[in-house]
Amino acid sequence: MERSPGDGSSPSPADQSSAPSDPPDQPPAAHTKRDLSSGNQPAGPGAAGEALALLTSFGRRLLVLVPVYLAGAVGLSVGFVLFGLALYLGWRRVRDEKERSLRAARQLLDDEERLTAKTLYMSHRELPAWVSFPDVEKAEWLNKIVAQVWPFLGQYMEKLLTETVAPAVRGSNPHLQTFTFTRVELGEKPLRILGVKVHPGQSKEQILLDLNISYVGDVQIDVEVKKYFCKAGVKGMQLHGVLRVILEPLIGNLPIVGAVSMFFIRRPTLDINWTGMTNLLDIPGLSSLSDTMIMDSIAAFLVLPNRLLVPLVPDLQDVAQLRSPLPRGIIRIHLLAARGLGSKDKYVKGLIEGKSDPYALVRVGTQTFCSRVINEDLNPQWGETYEVMVHEVPGQEIEVEVFDKDPDKDDFLGRMKLDVGKVLQAGVLDNVLQWNRGVSSRPEPPSAAILVVYLDRAQDLPLKKGNKEPNPMVQLSIQDMTQESKAVYSNNCPVWEEAFRFFLQDPRSQELDVQVKDDSRALTLGALTLPLGRLLTAPELTLDQWFQLSSSGPNSRLYMKLVMRILYLDSSEVHFPTVPGTPGAWDPDSESSQAGSSVDAPPRPCHTTPDSHFGTENVLRIHVLEAQDLIAKDRFLGGLVKGKSDPYVKLKLAGRSFRSRVVREDLNPRWNEVFEVIVTSIPGQELDIEVFDKDLDKDDFLGRSKVSLTAVLNTGFLDEWLTLEDVPSGRLHLRLERLTPRPTAAELEEVLQVNSLIQTQKSAELAAALLSVYLERAEDLPLRKGTKPPSPYATLTVGDTSHKTKTISQTSAPVWDESASFLIRKPNTESLELQVRGEGTGALGSLSLPLSELLVTDQLCLDRWFTLNNGQGQVLLRAQLGILVSQHSGVEAHSHSYSHSSSSLSEEPELWGGLPHITSSAPELRQRLTHGDSPVEAPAGPLGQVKLTVWYYSEERKLVSIVHSCRALRQNGRDPPDPYVSLLLLPDKNRGTKRKTSQKKRTLNPEFSERFEWELPLDEALRRKLDVSVKSNSSFMSRERELLGKVQLDLAEIDLSQGAAQWYDLMDDKDKGSS
């Protein structure tokens, strides 16, 4: 439909041609207003303005001739002038291109739909359905919110730059002490979000968003260094990329989201217009270099694996894990070959066509690898392998670019991209254990593990000369790989909160070297060398603690969290390429789909492969003897009457706690209790001791002390009186002994006898051995519901002590690689119980291993596959037993033989000679054991025998008797008796001196191993007789006891210092027992 010229809807062509052109930043309405108002203004001021503009333009042209005049004045050749002119023209061309690009981008964002329809030569209604991209949603409502918030964001940015960034810049360098921001404006063009994509189903504990952002802004930021009259700035910027936003963790309280993480999955594109001195950065060559450097800075802050974390709730747990989470896995990229590349080399001005010198760039996020150059080959074979860490799936891409190497500028030969998600679907990526056999890798050997180091903070770093605060930074090195942290200026307690990642080839032999230095790199503030083997024995392969720095201050330390993860490559699904030039190498001309020769599956191991620290634990025996001069805490009658205390002792070591019994109303208590704990040789361990007064409400503090285990682990023994701290008076008598397991069963009987002698009545039974178990893996476990693999874990149990392994998700062949240690009191009768269960599915199999089987093996060790009891499934484990021989118990245990007389008692052998005698504060005892497997065995009497140990414990002033067992008892009726042993200390027959064992059911050879004590002086004990009676209940309803036999021992005729176990013949009530 035609419009009349007078409707005013649009100007005529003549009007359009006569009107001045619109500047790109000026809206048309502004010009209309200016043109309408210009007609009403006088001509004089307008003519004056035009004349001023003409003079200004003429002056600028004269300024261009000034360099030419100066060059002639100083006698320079015309070449310098031409070079300067070329430099200016190049700068102008780059500048015009940037301004043109900014104008086009702004125009596109201002009227996106109209220009898109115009480009496609279609109306808006004719756009195809795929243009809407169903999985990417438009969020215009979000753009409207951003536009509303944009001015206030500009105010925040101005405050941030002037109050935070500017002082940091001024403090970083003495030459920048006059640095300031003179102008900070974000402009009127806000950031736009072109599309939002939500990734459902990734995790129930997080929300994953991808924001396609585009910023074409009229931002203007000017800076000035007044000392040098230097001004610089930015006017206009473009930034395009995909920003991933992760909302995690989701919590059950407001604001529902615990933190927000933001980062670019891939490097965004950046274009900046410079002003002032930074105009020089638009010179050809410097332009691309400056943009690359700025992009590297942005990548170090906001491109994977780096991310910005904004906590939304206070005291958020695992902030370091959220800021720098562990990689999802490792991708091993085999760059094999290319074929049919384009020819880029030309000779004789293009008349002769040559080949190319190709090389490849492999990029995943910020990780970039460059292959070697192969000269003059259009079908190159590289045969190189690279390893990259994958942090986000989906989203990350593997990008490969191929270039032709040239002396001036490399020519582009092609590009390809591969989504990491496709690699995952192919089953190539896993994250458990790396198998590298048969893998040929160049230029670096394949990795076996990755190490993530979370560098948190440092404390009390030494000052520089003149007591100046340092500017600390950290260098972390593993072999020839070094990474550096940022520098924290003017702070000896810096906080970095950075993460670093390393590939490890052999964690058992590699070390992490940490150097804390001043930012000048000349002054070392501290150092630390950490063998990575420590991580292999740490829980969860993680160390999260303070580390003391060497070559530093006395209190200088560094807080780090180190996490190691072993890599696993499923060899059944992967085909590794061979190296070109070897038999079976990949042939680029072959049409076979097989991309390399397959590697045979690893053979099933016959034995376990524990780390070097397995089985190196010791047992620390802690003997809490007595205390003196404790303070009185009990008060009566409102404090008028002073009482005593009811003391007890608390011990803490290696994550375990022990508590002694309470001694009532005694400021000089005697506990005489023994505790045992498994310890390692890690330096720095301490035994924490606290003494308390037991009260009804709150226990009162009586003192504390600490004992470093270094001396005990080195010398093996410590016997000291410890002064209690934080109290006016009090000291504690403690005896510590290190027991090192011995892989021999020859001394087991002697150890059991020694333990029975030195064990106190109030203490638990002492350990005779240490069992170390290494559970490596299982195979052929039953499937869940017949088809699905289970999620198995294992439980190792000895007595009342258990250890549960980690759960391996969905596999019938789990690899646990875990170890556990157990204290064994009776190796002859105890057993190791193994239960394999599935998470939510119940029992998968079990195994019972009697420890007596270990006693008959070489080195007391079994290392093999064991079949589970259900008949389906096997486990590979190593069980290793070590006998705990005390060298400081006061008991001399030696191997010797015995000759038996015609009576049932063995005679005393000759004393041993030539062996060193170990003296200690414990009583002197000599062990005389009668071995049950002696070649000559004396026959038992008609009523049987009882085995006893009678010993006087001079340190405790106690008479001790141990009833071991009976044998060959008399059976009077049809059924075997229910025997027990009664002891009476004559001439007293009252209940105060009477002791008796537990009752054993229906046996002629009962085993008791029970200990009894009487407190009395030695001279009085020598005047006593010990009456030992073996009895049995007559019937269930009767109180009568049937006497099976008895023996009466005159203690004056027995050497009570020997503590020997002997068999005694049982006699009738009228006869006396003999030995």
In the prediction, which pLDDT does 615 show?
86
In the prediction, which pLDDT does 421 show?
65
Instruction: Write out pLDDT tens, residues 67-76.
Output: 767 776 777 6
Residue 178, C-beta contacts closer than 8 angstroms, at least 6 positions apart: 170, 224, 225, 226, 227
Q: How far apart are CA 975 and CA 486, in angstroms?
A: 85
- CA dihedral over 75, 76, 77, 81, signed as positive or negative: negative
Q: How far apart are CA 290 and CA 271, in angstroms?
A: 10
pLDDT over 90 (residue 7): no
Q: Is residue 944 within 8 Å of 970, Cβ to Cβ?
A: yes
- Name the β-bridge partners of 486: none
Q: Is residue 831 within 8 Å of 824, Cβ to Cβ?
A: no
In the prediction, which pLDDT does 834 show?
93
Q: How far apart are CA 944 and CA 438, in angstroms?
A: 69
pLDDT over 70 (residue 568): no
Mean pLDDT, residues 1002-1028: 88
In the prediction, which pLDDT does 292 show?
60
In the prediction, which pLDDT does 966 show?
92
| Helix, strand or coil, per DSSP, at residue 258 | coil
Q: Is residue 210 within 8 Å of 261, Cβ to Cβ?
A: no
Instruction: Write out pLDDT tens, residues 511-563.
Output: 899 999 988 888 889 999 998 888 888 887 888 889 999 888 888 999 998 88
pLDDT over 70 (residue 1): no
Q: How confident is the model at residue 732 (pLDDT cuts 50, 70, 90)?
A: very high
Q: How far apart are CA 513 and CA 52, in angstroms?
A: 69
Instruction: Write out pLDDT tens, residues 205-241.
Output: 788 888 888 888 888 888 888 777 777 778 877 788 8
In the prediction, which pLDDT does 880 show?
93
Which parts of 391-494 are beta strand (E)?
Answer: 397-404, 411-419, 449-459, 472-478, 481-484
In the prediction, which pLDDT does 308 show?
80
- CA dihedral over 583, 585, 588, 592, signed as positive or negative: positive
Least confident of 300-309, 898-907, 1005-1014: 898-907
Q: How confident is the model at residue 34 (pLDDT cuts 50, 70, 90)?
A: very low
In the prediction, which pLDDT does 1068 show?
85
In the prediction, which pLDDT does 904 show?
36
Q: Is residue 203 within 8 Å of 217, Cβ to Cβ?
A: no
Residue reference for tokens 């031409």? 82
Q: How confident is the model at residue 138 (pLDDT cuts 50, 70, 90)?
A: confident
Q: How confident is the model at residue 311 (pLDDT cuts 50, 70, 90)?
A: confident
In the prediction, which pLDDT does 914 show?
32
Least confident of 11-15, 578-582, 909-913: 909-913
Q: How far apart are CA 81 and CA 72, in angstroms?
A: 9
Q: How confident is the model at residue 359 (pLDDT cuts 50, 70, 90)?
A: very high
Q: How confident is the model at residue 8 (pLDDT cuts 50, 70, 90)?
A: very low
How many C-beta atoms lie closer than 10 Å to residue 1067's C-beta?
17
- Residue 939 Cα distances to 963, 967, 1028, angstroms: 20, 11, 20
In the prediction, which pLDDT does 783 show?
82
Mean pLDDT, residues 155-176: 79
Q: How confident is the model at residue 795 (pLDDT cuts 50, 70, 90)?
A: very high
pLDDT over 80 (residue 303): no
Q: How far apart are CA 435 and CA 574, in angstroms?
A: 11
pLDDT over 90 (residue 690): yes
Q: What is the mean pLDDT of the chain?
A: 76
Q: How far apart are CA 402 and CA 412, in angstroms?
A: 6
pTM of the model as a whole: 0.42
Longest dimension (CA), the chain: 151
Residue 935, C-beta contacts closer than 8 angstroms, at least 6 positions apart: none
Q: How far apart are CA 63 and CA 71, in angstroms?
A: 14
Report the DSSP pairing between strands 925-926 and 891-892: parallel
- Under DSSP, the state recorded for 134 is T
Residues 447-457 as b or e (16 or more Cβ within 10 Å = b)? bbbbbbbbbbe
Instruction: Write out pLDDT tens, residues 365-395.
Output: 767 888 989 888 888 988 888 887 777 656 6
pLDDT over 70 (residue 725): yes
pLDDT over 80 (residue 43): no
Instruction: Write out pLDDT tens, residues 59-69.
Output: 766 666 677 67
- Name the β-bridge partners of 566: 449
Q: Tell me the percentage of the chain whose pLDDT exceeds 70.
A: 72
Q: How confident is the model at residue 46 (pLDDT cuts 50, 70, 90)?
A: low
Least confident of 147-151, 255-259, 329-333, 874-878: 329-333
Q: How confident is the model at residue 833 (pLDDT cuts 50, 70, 90)?
A: very high
Q: How confident is the model at residue 316 (pLDDT cuts 50, 70, 90)?
A: confident
Q: Is residue 792 within 8 Å of 781, Cβ to Cβ?
A: yes
Residue reference for tokens 């009090």? 730
Q: How far apart are CA 669 and CA 785, in angstroms?
A: 62
In the prediction, which pLDDT does 284 show?
52
Q: How far apart are CA 124 and CA 938, in angstroms?
A: 112
Cis upstream peptide for 249 (omega within 30°): yes
Least confident of 49-53, 459-463, 789-793, 1022-1026: 49-53
pLDDT over 70 (residue 477): yes
- Residue 236 Cα distances to 25, 88, 241, angstroms: 11, 21, 17
Query: Of residues 177 and 703, which shows the higher confidence score?
Result: 703
- Residue 330 Cα distances to 333, 573, 902, angstroms: 10, 16, 77
In the prediction, which pLDDT does 458 show?
92
Query: Of residues 927 and 780, which shows the higher confidence score?
Result: 780
Instruction: Write out pLDDT tens, residues 626-669.
Output: 999 999 888 776 666 678 889 999 999 888 899 999 998 899 99
Q: Is residue 136 within 8 Å of 197, Cβ to Cβ?
A: yes
Residues of the chain by 3-state class (helix, strand, coil), percent to 5? 20, 40, 45
- Residue 885 Cα distances to 768, 892, 894, angstroms: 8, 11, 11
- Calculate ∠ Cα 492-498-499, nearest 5°: 140
Report the DSSP pairing between strands 269-276 and 731-739: unpaired
User: Tokens in use for 352?
Assistant: 């002769």
Mean pLDDT, residues 564-587: 48
Q: Is residue 851 within 8 Å of 830, Cβ to Cβ?
A: yes
User: Tokens in use for 378?
Assistant: 């259009």
One-letter amino acid of 891: V
Nearest to 735 by CA among 768, 752, 751, 712: 712
Q: How confident is the model at residue 1054 (pLDDT cuts 50, 70, 90)?
A: confident
Q: Is residue 909 within 8 Å of 806, Cβ to Cβ?
A: no
Q: How far apart are CA 935 and CA 1042, in angstroms?
A: 34
How many C-beta atoms lie closer than 10 Å to residue 754's C-beta?
25
In the prediction, which pLDDT does 928 show?
38
- CA dihedral over 420, 421, 427, 430, signed as positive or negative: positive
